[in-house]
Amino acid sequence: MGVLRREEIERNFRQLKEDIKNICASLGADCENIMIVAVTKTFPPEVVQSALEAGITHIGENRIQEAEDKVDTVRRLKGRFHMIGHLQSNKAKKAVEMFDMIQSVDSIKIAGKIADEAAKRSKRMEILLQVNCSGEETKSGFDPLEMLEAAERIKALPGVEIKGIMTIGPFVDDESIIRRDFQLTRKLYDDIRSRNPDIDMKYLSMGMSADYHIALREGANMIRVGSVIFGSRPA
């Protein structure tokens, strides 16, 4: 399958928003506060342009090198750029330069690197703390038992501003397992917020194309989706 045209992306985005509206209505919740981050990894820069022209405002990328090819398009069309993949400490400088939010802060060390680079630029970098609730070794993220202490330490760093937490759901077919991990993430979010009133906890980022419907029902107000908007990724 080739790259989708702007009209197809716009149609898929509209259908996604309608689905979110229906899920929120079933919960008696307001869907206006749900942030959709459109994940454009492996897609060419022209897809980013089509997405932004179709009304999408938040773009997510996993890798610094690929993001470098797209940042000019995002800036020109006034989108917001999210780093959602694992960030190596030697790429912190570029990440701070390019992104509006780094969702994948998975260690105190990388938080410190980001803080240092942001402070050099008199910038307050918005970050999310990534938690690995499933315990899968292939995933990055804080151990759930470390999250409260990590938040306490990171909030004191100059140059960064914690805005919430992020998780990647377990790669399983059993919805009860996915739901359990999202529930734990929601509890951590609530715990950090209640114990740290000085942290502006706004975003609970969980749910991707395969499981966003579960995430929304468990309290997510930010989802990171790609294939439901852009179709199959290029090989």
pLDDT of residue 235: 61
pLDDT of residue 30: 87
At 148, which amino acid appears? L
**Cα 217 from Cα 200, distance rounded (Å):** 23
Q: Which residues in 40-94 belong to E strands, given as ranges?
A: 58-61, 80-83
**Cα 164 from Cα 103, distance rounded (Å):** 9
pLDDT digits (tens, 9 = 90+) for 60-80: 999 999 999 999 999 999 999
Spatial contact of 16 and 36, defined as CB atoms under 8 Å apart:
yes
pLDDT interval class at 113 (50, 70, 90): very high
Closest CA to 199 of 207, 185, 189: 189
Spatial contact of 60 and 38, defined as CB atoms under 8 Å apart:
yes
All domains of the chain, ordered by start, with CATH?
6-224 (3.20.20.10)
pLDDT interval class at 86 (50, 70, 90): very high
